[in-house]
A and B are shown apart, each in its own frame.
Chain A
C-alpha cells in the first residue's frame, strides 16, 4: 500500500507537471488576450503527432523534436493570432465568442489530424536506456523522469521570463491592467501576438512530453487536455501563471492518488468534481479573480 501511495505521488508529480505546463500556457493566453482557448488540447496533441511524424518518418528522437515543435508552434500561433483575433473584437461579447470560435478551431484541428493520422491510438515506439530507473523503493520509466526534468526547466524558464525580463513584465502588466499598459506605450497588438505564439509553442512542446509520459494519443484526446487545462486554470485563478503551476501539480497528485484508492474510471469524476467545488465555493481559485455575477 505504501509503495502504491508513493507511486501515486511520484506519478502525480510527473503528470501534474504536464498539466501545469498546459495550464500555464492556457492561463497566459486568457490573461493577456481574454481568449478562452478550447483548442489548446488540440495544440498539445498536435505536438504529440509532430513528434510521432518526425520519429516514424525521419527517425528523429523525441528530445530533438522539442525545439522543432517549439519553433513550428510559435510560428503557427503567430499566424493564427493575426488570422483570427482582430476580427473577433467586433462581436458583442468577445470573451464568450472566443470560446465558441476556438471550439470550432478545436473541431477543425481534430478533423485535420484525423484525416492525416486516422483514428487509431498512436504511441512513439522509442525508449531510453535504461528503460526505467529506481527512485527510492519504486521504479519510474526513464522517459517520465526525462519529461519531468524538462517540465521543471521549462516552468522555471517561463517563471523567470515572466518575472525577470522586460517583455515578461509587460505580459504580466497586460494581464493586470490592459488599459494602463497601452498608456505606457506598449504595442499591445504585437505583445498579444507574442503571447499567442508563446502559449502555442509551450503547448506544442508539452505535446512532445505528453507523447513521452502517456501511453498513447489519438486525434480526439485533445478535448481531454483542454478540459484538464481549464480545471487547472480555474483552480489557479484565471490569468495567474504561478497559480496554474501549483494547481497543475495539485491536480496531477489528486488524479493519480485517486486511482490508487478508487476505481480507475472514477479519476476524471474526481477532477471534474474538484473543478465544480472550487468554482462554487471559492470562485477566485487558489489565488484571486472575480467569477460570480
Chain B
C-alpha cells in the first residue's frame, strides 16, 4: 500500500472515530440536559438533583486535576469554601445581586489556584499532603477573620429570598459549562499536552511543551468550577459557615465519586457521581446513622476492587472503545 493512501485511510478512520465520539458526547449531553431541565417542571426532588449536579461538576473539575494532570488535591474543598464565602460576603455585606456575585466566586477560585500554583512543583504524595494543609489554612484564616465580615462561628445568612428553582437552573448552567470545557479539553491541544506532561514531564518538555504553563492552565480550570459550585450552593442553602463550607467530607465525596467513575475520561465522573449519589441517597434513607461508615467502607472497597473506576474498567476490558468514549 502506498504511504499516501494509508495516510488518508488513517485520517478518515480518525475522522470517523471523532464523529462517533462527538455524537456520543452530544447524545449524553442532550439526555443529561433534558433530564435536569424537566426536574423542576415535573416537580421531582429538586434538592436531590441539585446536589447530583453539584457533585457531577465537582467530580469533573477534580478529574481535570487528578485524571488529566496527575495531581491529587486532597484539599479540593478549599476552592469550594472560598467560592461560597465570596458569594456570601458580596451579597450580604456589599449588597451584590447573587448572579453578579457568582463570577467573583469563580474568580476567587482562580486567584486561590494562582496562590497555590507553586505547589505544582511537588510530586505525588507531597502535593496531596500540602494541599490538605493549605485547605486547613484557608479554613482557619476565614474562621479567624472579624465576625462582621464572615459571621464567625455562626456563619453568614445571605438574607435574600431562597430561590431553589433559579439556583437549580444556575447550577445546571455551571454543570453544562464544566462538562463542555472538559469535553473540549479532552480533545484539545492543551488536554493532550496535559496528559503528556502527566505521563512524562521531561519527554513533554523535550517535545516543546511548556510544562509549567500547561500545568497551571489545567490547575486553574480545576480551581474555577468548585468555587462556582460553592457560590451556587451558598445561594441555594442561603447560609454559609466555615464548618460546612470547608468540611473535609466535601473533598472525600468529590474524590470518591470521581474515582468511582474513573479518572481521565469525561464520562467517568458523571457516571461515578450518578451511581454514588444515588447509592448515597438510598443508604441515607435506610440507615442515616451508618452513612459515614458505609461511605468509608465503600471507599476502601472501591480502591481494592475497582481502582480504575466503572468507565476505566470497561475501557480496560474493551480498549478499542477508548477512542469513541468521551
| A interface with B by C-beta (< 8 Å) | 36, 84, 87-88, 90-93, 95-97, 99-101, 103-112, 114-115, 223, 227, 230-231, 234, 238, 263, 265-266, 268-269, 272-273, 275-276, 279-280, 283, 290-293
Partner of A283, one of B126, B141, B296: B126
Contact indicator A108/B133 (Cβ below 8 Å): no
Q: List 26 A-B contacts (CB under 8 A).
A: A88-B303, A88-B304, A91-B303, A92-B308, A95-B124, A95-B125, A97-B307, A99-B128, A101-B299, A104-B296, A104-B297, A104-B298, A105-B300, A107-B249, A107-B293, A108-B296, A111-B290, A111-B295, A263-B144, A269-B137, A275-B133, A276-B133, A276-B137, A279-B122, A280-B121, A293-B201
Measured CB to CB, the closest approach of chain B to A89, in angstroms, equals: 10
A3 to B78, CA, bound (A): 39
Q: Are B252 and A103 in contact (CB under 8 A)?
A: yes
Question: Please, which residues of chain B bring their CB within 8 A of the CB of A292?
Answer: 121-123, 126
A293 x B137 contact (CB < 8 A): no
CB pair A279–B126 under 8 Å, yes or no, is yes
Given A104-B298, A263-B144, 20 more pairs with CB closer than 8 A: A36-B128, A84-B304, A95-B125, A96-B124, A96-B128, A97-B307, A100-B259, A101-B299, A103-B252, A104-B299, A107-B252, A107-B293, A107-B296, A108-B293, A111-B292, A272-B133, A275-B129, A275-B133, A276-B133, A292-B126
Whether A109 lies near B140 (C-beta < 8 A) is no
In the complex the two chains form, is A99's CB within 8 Å of B72's CB? yes
Query: Which single residue of chain B is at the shortest CB-CB distance from A269?
Result: B140
Interface size on B, residues (CB 8 A): 46
- Choice from B137, B297, B307 contacting A92 with Cβ under 8 Å: B307
- The 5 lowest CB-CB distance pairs between A and B, nearest first, are A104-B299, A108-B296, A107-B296, A91-B307, A111-B292
The answer to whether A105 touches B136, judged by C-beta atoms less than 8 angstroms apart, is: no
Contact A84 B144 (CB under 8 A): no
Interfacial residues, chain B to chain A (CB-CB below 8 A): 72, 74, 118-119, 121-126, 128-130, 132-134, 136-137, 140-141, 143-144, 201, 248-249, 252, 255-256, 259, 289-293, 295-300, 302-305, 307-308
Contacts of B300 in A (CB 8 A): 84, 101, 104-105, 108
Q: Are B130 and A100 in contact (CB under 8 A)?
A: no
CA distance A247 to B291 in the complex (A): 37
Q: Which residues of B contact A276 (CB under 8 A)?
A: 119, 130, 133-134, 137
A107 x B299 contact (CB < 8 A): yes
A279–B134 Cα distance when bound, in Å, is 12
Q: Give the docked Cα–Cα distance between A276 and B140 (Å).
A: 15
| Chain A residues, CB < 8 A from B299 | 100-101, 103-104, 107-108
Per the bound structure, the CA–CA distance linking A108 and B252 in Å amounts to 12
Question: Are B72 and A273 in contact (CB-based, < 8 A)?
Answer: no
Q: How far is the CB of B255 from chain A (nearest CB, A)?
A: 6
Task: Give the interface SS of chain B, mostly helix, strand, loop or mixed.
Answer: helix
Measured CA separation A268–B256 after assembly (Å): 27
Residue of B nearest to A219 (CB): B292
Which A residues lie within 8 Å of B141 (CB)?
269
By beta carbon, the residue of chain A nearest B140 is A269
> With A and B bound together, what is the CA distance between A90 and B304 in angstroms?
8
A90–B312 CA distance with the chains assembled, in angstroms: 14
B303 contact from A101, A265, A266, Cβ within 8 A: A101
Output the nearest chain B residue to A107 by Cβ-Cβ distance. B296
Cβ contacts under 8 Å, B119 to chain A: 276, 279-280
Measured between beta carbons, the chain B residues less than 8 angstroms from A275 are 129-130, 133
Q: Are A115 and B293 in contact (CB under 8 A)?
A: yes
Closest-by-CB residue of B relative to A220 is B248
Question: Distance in Å from the Cβ of B90 to the closest Cβ of chain A?
Answer: 25
A230 to B249, CA, bound (A): 19
Query: B296–A111 contact, CB under 8 A?
Result: yes
Taking a contact as CB atoms under 8 Å apart, the answer to whether B74 and A265 are in contact is no
Chain B residues whose C-beta falls within 8 Å of the C-beta of A99 in the assembled complex: 72, 74, 125, 128
Complex CA–CA separation, A112 to B296 (angstroms): 10
Write the chain B residue with the least CB distance to A273: B137
Smallest Cβ distance from A95 to chain B, in angstroms? 6
Set of chain B residues within 8 Å of A90, measured between Cβ atoms: 307
For A263, list chain B residues within 8 Å (CB).
Answer: 144
Task: Tell me the complex Cα distance, A273–B259, Å.
Answer: 30
